[in-house]
Amino acid sequence: MDLVERALAGERLALARLLTQVENDTPAGRAALDRLFPRTGRAHLVGITGAPGTGKSSLANRLARAFRSLGDCSPARKVAVLAVDPSSPFTGGALLGDRLRMKDISGDPGVFIRSMASRGAVGGVARATAALASVLDAAGYDPIFIETVGAGQSEVEIVRLAHSVVVVDAPGLGDDIQAIKAGILEIADILVVNKADLPGAENTLRALENMLELAYPAGSAERRRPPLLRATATTGEGVEEIVRAILEHRAYLKETGGWQRREQDRLRREFEALLSAALVARWREQAGSRAVHELFARIASREVSPSQAAEEAVKKTMGCE
Amino acid sequence: MDLVERALAGERLALARLLTQVENDTPAGRAALDRLFPRTGRAHLVGITGAPGTGKSSLANRLARAFRSLGDCSPARKVAVLAVDPSSPFTGGALLGDRLRMKDISGDPGVFIRSMASRGAVGGVARATAALASVLDAAGYDPIFIETVGAGQSEVEIVRLAHSVVVVDAPGLGDDIQAIKAGILEIADILVVNKADLPGAENTLRALENMLELAYPAGSAERRRPPLLRATATTGEGVEEIVRAILEHRAYLKETGGWQRREQDRLRREFEALLSAALVARWREQAGSRAVHELFARIASREVSPSQAAEEAVKKTMGCE
C-alpha cells in the first residue's frame, strides 16, 4: 500500500505525512490531491472564528469531543480540527505553554488535530487549508473544524471554505477587540457567547441581539437569522445546543441547496486560483527570462505602468487566435 | 483642469474623489493610475502595525504631526495616513465613538487621512492600498503612513508595501494578543513599546530585547537589527526618536539599495496580480460561457479535480504556439 492508501485505511502516521506533503505543495502532494478528489465532498466543514480571547480553541475541543460521543452513526464519527489561528493553543499558542486545553482530546484516536503555520506565501494559507481539509474529508473525517482568528481578510477567506461558520464572542474584551468583531458577525451562521459564566455576559448577549435585530429586521425572511447561543467551554455548558445548531444548519443547507452552492463556489475559486498561477507560469516560460527581465526594468524606470505592462503581456501571450 | 490635474494641484476634494475612483477600481480610476504612475516612487511608505490595543492610531497621529513640523523642507512636507485597520479610530473604530484621538490632525490642511474598508473581494484590500498609496505619492505626500492591525496575512501583505515597518507593542496585553504578536516581529524595521508609562513596560521591553537577541545574535551583522524604542503616544514622549529612526531607516535603504529592491518587488507583485487577473478574464472570454459552465459542472460532479481542470484550460488557452 502506498501512502495515500495507508492514510485512507486509517493509519494516522501516514495521514500526517500525507498532510505535510499536501501542505508543502509537493508534486506528490498535488498528485495525492487529484487522486483523493473523487472521495471528497462528504465532510461538514465547520469554521470556528472570533476575536483573540474568546476561547475558540476550548470550544473547538469541546465540540470535537461532543461529536465523537454523539452516537448517531456506527462506527462512531471521526472528527478533525484544523487550527490556523496564531493565537490558538493548537498552533502558536502552544509554544507559549498553553498546551493544557487540548489535552482532553489528544489521546482519542478518533480525533485528528492539525495545526498550520498562519504565515507564508501570498494566498498560501487559504489554499493549504482547503487542501488539508480535502485530505481529511477523503479520509473520512466529519465534521472538520477549522479554527481561525477573526481578524484579517485571509482568515475570512479561510472561513469561507466552511459550510457553517460559528462566530464566538465573549464578555470583557477590550474596545479594540470589539471593533474587530463587527466585521465577522456578518459571516456567522451560528453565534455563540462563550464564557457565559463571566460578569458582563448578559450585556454581550444583549449587544449581539441588537445587532441581529438591525441586520435581520422582523418580518423579512430573506436570509436565515443565525441562532444566538450561550456556552461555557470550560465546563461544557451549552455545548450540546451548539452541536444541535451545527447539525440543524447542515440539514438546512442540504434542504435549501446552500450546501451545493457553497461547495461549487469553493471549487470555482480553487480552480481559478490554480488557473491563474498556471497561466502566469506559462507566460513566464513563453516570454523567456530575458524578456521578463526587460519588462520589469521598464516598469521600474516608470516607462510603463504595471497595468500597461500586464496588458502588453496578455496580448503577446494570447494573441494567436 | 480635470480631476487628476486638480488633485495634483493640491485640491483636497479632488484628491478625495480621485481616491474613491481608484479604490473602487473604476475605468476612470485605472486610467488615472496609469497617468500618475510616472510621478510615483518618491514617497516613503511607512507601515505601522501591531496587535489591537497597542495604540497604533495615536502613534500614527503623533508621527504625522511630528513630520509636519520637522522643518527639513520648504514648503513643509505633506503627510498622509492610510488606515486599513478595522480597530482603528480612523476606520471602523470611529463608528464606535473613538473619533477623539484623530481630532488633533484633522484640521491640518497638510495632513490627508484616508480610511479603507478592510473587507472586500479576495486580494482587494492589498491591491487597493497599493493603488491609494500611489495616488498620494504622486500628489506629493511624503511620508505616507499605512496603519494596519498585525493579525491576518493580508495585513502582513499590506505592510509589505511599505519601505519601513514600525511594529508597535504595549504592556498589559492578554496572552492571546501576545501570540498574535510573535508573527509580526519578524517584519519589523523599527520596534516601539508604546504606553511606556504603564506598569509592565519594562517587562515588555525586556521580552522584546530577548527575542531580538535570539533573532540577531551578537556578531552576526548579516541583517540589520531593528532599533527598540519606547514611547507614550498620548503625551508625545519618545515620538521624536521614532521620527529619527524612520528617517535613518530611509537613509539606510537608499544607501544599501534596499529601497530599490523593495520598490521592484512591490511593482513585480502588482504586475503579476494584474497579469493573472487579465489572463483568467481572457481565458473566460475565449472559452465562452457554455464551456466554462460545463467545466465547472465536471468539477462539481468530481469528474475532474480543480487542478486537472486548470491544466486542461491552460492547454486550450495557450496551446497555439
Q: Do A53 and B177 touch (CB under 8 A)?
A: yes
Mutate to test the interface with B, among A275, A284, A312, A316 (most CBs of B within 10 A): A275
Identify the closest residue of chain A to B54 by CA–CA distance: A176
Closest CA to A129 of A151, A107, A114: A114
Whose grid coordinates read 498609496?
B133
Residue with the bigger pLDDT between B32 and B151: it is B32
Nearest to A180 among B86, B125, B313 (CB): B86
Q: Is residue B265 part of a domain?
A: no
Q: So what's the pLDDT on residue A181? A: 56
Residue B236 CB coordination number (10 Å) = 13
Residue A83 CB coordination number (10 Å) = 28
Identify the closest residue of chain A to B279 by CA–CA distance: A314
Residue with the bigger pLDDT between B9 and B217: it is B9
Nearest to B96 among A179, A302, A321 (CB): A179
Nearest to A299 among B271, B300, B318 (CB): B271
- C-alpha A277/C-alpha A299 separation (Å) is 21
| Residue B213 pLDDT grade (very low, low, confident, very high; cuts 50, 70, 90) | confident
Contacts of B120 in chain A (CB under 8 A): 153
C-alpha cell at A216: 435581520
CATH code at position B241: 3.40.50.300
Burial per residue of B213-231, b for 16 or more beta-carbon CB atoms within 10 angstroms, e otherwise: eeeeeeeeeeeeebbbbbb
- Looking at the structure, do residues A236 and A288 belong to the same domain, yes or no? no
- Looking at the structure, do residues A250 and A290 belong to the same domain, yes or no? no
CB contacts < 8 Å between A and B, how many? Answer: 231
Q: So what's the pLDDT on residue A99? A: 37
Q: Is residue A264 part of a domain?
A: no
Q: Do A123 and B118 touch (CB under 8 A)?
A: no
Q: Do A183 and B277 touch (CB under 8 A)?
A: no
> Once rounded to an integer, what is the mean pLDDT over residues B115-134?
72
Mutate to test the interface with A, among B295, B305, B312 (most CBs of A within 10 A): B305
Beta carbons of B224 and B218 less than 8 angstroms apart = no
Peptide bond into B75 cis (omega under 30): yes
Q: CB-based contacts of A214: which residues, under 8 Å, 6+ apart?
A: none
Alpha helical stretches, state H, chain B: 3-8, 12-23, 27-36, 56-68, 92-95, 103-106, 124-138, 153-160, 175-185, 201-215, 239-256, 258-287, 289-300, 306-318
Contacts of B305 in chain A (CB under 8 A): 33-34, 37
Taking CB atoms within 8 Å and a gap of at least 24, the contacts of B100-106 are B101/B57, B101/B58, B101/B61, B102/B57, B102/B61, B104/B61, B104/B65, B105/B61, B105/B64, B105/B65, B105/B68, B105/B81
- C-alpha A37/C-alpha A51 separation (Å) is 33
Contacts of B49 in chain A (CB under 8 A): none
Q: Is residue B264 part of a domain?
A: no
The mean predicted confidence, pLDDT, of chain B is 83
Range of the domain at B17: 1-35
Q: What pLDDT tens digit does each residue of chain A (321 aa) get?
A: 899 999 999 999 999 999 999 988 899 999 999 999 999 999 999 999 887 778 888 999 999 999 998 877 767 789 999 988 655 555 443 333 333 344 455 677 889 998 876 554 445 777 888 899 999 999 999 999 998 876 555 566 777 789 999 999 888 776 545 545 555 677 889 999 999 999 889 988 988 888 788 777 776 666 788 999 999 999 999 999 999 999 999 999 999 999 998 888 889 988 988 899 888 888 888 889 999 999 999 999 999 999 999 998 888 776 554
- C-alpha A33/C-alpha A297 separation (Å) is 38
Q: Closest Cα of chain A to B309: distance in Å?
A: 7
Peptide bond into A27 cis (omega under 30): no
| Residue type at position B80 | A
Q: Do B174 and A52 touch (CB under 8 A)?
A: yes
ipTM for the whole complex: 0.78
Beta carbons of B171 and B159 less than 8 angstroms apart = no
* Least confident window among A88-92, B187-191, B275-279: A88-92
DSSP state of B148: E
Q: Edge-to-edge strand order for the sheet containing A111-115? A: A111-115, A78-83, A141-149, A45-50, A164-169, A190-193, A228-230
Write the pLDDT tens digit of every residue in B28-85.
999 999 999 999 999 999 999 887 778 888 999 999 999 998 877 767 789 999 988 6
Strand partners, A147: A48, A83
- C-alpha A132/C-alpha B118 separation (Å) is 27
In order of B1, B173, B193, the CA distances from B198 in angstroms are 52, 11, 10
Mutate to test the interface with B, among A127, A154, A320 (most CBs of B within 10 A): A154
Beta carbons of A70 and A246 less than 8 angstroms apart = no
- Looking at the structure, do residues B298 and B201 belong to the same domain, yes or no? no
Q: So what's the pLDDT on residue B24? A: 87
Which of these three, A256, A284, A305, is where a domain ends?
A: A256
Q: Do B153 and A178 touch (CB under 8 A)?
A: no
Q: Coil, helix or strand for A48?
A: strand
DSSP state of A270: H
Ramachandran angles phi, psi of B140, nearest 5°: 95, 10
- Looking at the structure, do residues A103 and A193 belong to the same domain, yes or no? yes
- C-alpha A226/C-alpha A44 separation (Å) is 18
- Looking at the structure, do residues A122 and A161 belong to the same domain, yes or no? yes
Identify the closest residue of chain B to A259 by CA–CA distance: B300
Measured in residues, chain A has a length of: 321
Alpha helical stretches, state H, A139-257: 153-160, 175-185, 201-215, 239-256
- Looking at the structure, do residues A63 and A184 belong to the same domain, yes or no? yes
Closest CA to B63 of B229, B280, B265, B263: B229
- Looking at the structure, do residues B28 and B52 belong to the same domain, yes or no? no
> Once rounded to an integer, what is the mean pLDDT over residues B183-203?
87
C-alpha cell at A25: 505543495
Measured in residues, chain B has a length of: 321
Closest CA to B52 of B99, B23, B85, B7: B85
Q: Do A275 and B87 touch (CB under 8 A)?
A: no
- C-alpha A86/C-alpha A49 separation (Å) is 12
Q: How large is the greatest C-alpha to C-alpha distance in chain A, in angstroms? A: 69
Q: Do A305 and B34 touch (CB under 8 A)?
A: yes
- Looking at the structure, do residues B189 and B205 belong to the same domain, yes or no? yes
- Looking at the structure, do residues A121 and A205 belong to the same domain, yes or no? yes
Q: Determine how β-strand B45-50 pairs with β-strand B164-169.
A: parallel
Nearest to A271 among B87, B178, B310 (CB): B310
Contacts of A315 in chain B (CB under 8 A): none
Q: Is residue B199 part of a domain?
A: yes
Beta carbons of A242 and A190 less than 8 angstroms apart = yes
Mutate to test the interface with A, among B26, B153, B269 (most CBs of A within 10 A): B153
DSSP state of A76: P
Ramachandran angles phi, psi of B40, nearest 5°: -90, 170
Burial per residue of A210-228, b for 16 or more beta-carbon CB atoms within 10 angstroms, e otherwise: ebbeeeeeeeeeeeeebbb
- Looking at the structure, do residues B225 and B303 belong to the same domain, yes or no? no
How big is chain B by its Cα radius of gyration, in Å? 22
Write the pLDDT tens digit of every residue in B219-255.
666 678 899 999 999 999 999 999 999 999 999 999 9
- C-alpha B100/C-alpha B97 separation (Å) is 8
Contacts of A295 in chain B (CB under 8 A): 271
> Once rounded to an integer, what is the mean pLDDT over residues B189-198?
94
Q: So what's the pLDDT on residue A98? A: 36
Torsion of CA A55, A57, A63, A66, to 10 degrees: -100
Nearest to B310 among A180, A278, A296 (CB): A278
- C-alpha A262/C-alpha A282 separation (Å) is 30
Whose grid coordinates read 500526517?
A16
Q: Is residue B266 part of a domain?
A: no
Q: Is residue A266 part of a domain?
A: no
Identify the closest residue of chain A to B152 by CA–CA distance: A152
Beta carbons of B51 and B173 less than 8 angstroms apart = yes
Q: Closest Cα of chain B to A100: distance in Å?
A: 14
| Residue type at position A135 | V
Q: So what's the pLDDT on residue B106? A: 60
Contacts of B321 in chain A (CB under 8 A): 286, 320
Q: Closest Cα of chain A to B76: distance in Å?
A: 26
How big is chain A by its Cα radius of gyration, in Å? 22
Percent with pLDDT over 70 in chain B: 82
> Once rounded to an integer, what is the mean pLDDT over residues B254-264?
91
Mutate to test the interface with A, among B176, B177, B284, B296 (most CBs of A within 10 A): B176
Ramachandran angles phi, psi of B190, nearest 5°: -140, 130
Q: Do B53 and A174 touch (CB under 8 A)?
A: yes
Contacts of B93 in chain A (CB under 8 A): 175-176, 179
- C-alpha B201/C-alpha B238 separation (Å) is 14
- Looking at the structure, do residues B79 and B202 belong to the same domain, yes or no? yes
Ramachandran angles phi, psi of B118, nearest 5°: -100, 5
- C-alpha A154/C-alpha A125 separation (Å) is 8
Nearest to A272 among B120, B125, B280 (CB): B280
Q: Is residue B19 part of a domain?
A: yes
C-alpha cell at A34: 487529484
> Once rounded to an integer, what is the mean pLDDT over residues B154-165?
78
Q: Do A92 and B179 touch (CB under 8 A)?
A: yes
Closest CA to B12 of B110, B101, B137, B115: B110
- Looking at the structure, do residues B76 and B154 belong to the same domain, yes or no? yes
C-alpha cell at B39: 510621478
In order of A20, A55, A72, A113, B33, the CA distances from A90 in angstroms are 16, 12, 27, 8, 44
The model's pTM is 0.74
DSSP state of A38: G
Contacts of B118 in chain A (CB under 8 A): 153, 183
Q: Closest Cα of chain B to A107: distance in Å?
A: 25
Q: Closest Cα of chain B to A139: distance in Å?
A: 16
Question: What is the number of structural domains in chain A?
Answer: 3
Q: Do A87 and B183 touch (CB under 8 A)?
A: no
Q: Closest Cα of chain A to B245: distance in Å?
A: 27
Which of these three, B228, B256, B284, is where a domain ends?
A: B256
Q: Coil, helix or strand for B79?
A: strand
Q: Is residue B108 part of a domain?
A: yes
Q: Do B280 and A279 touch (CB under 8 A)?
A: yes
Identify the closest residue of chain B to A39 by CA–CA distance: B302
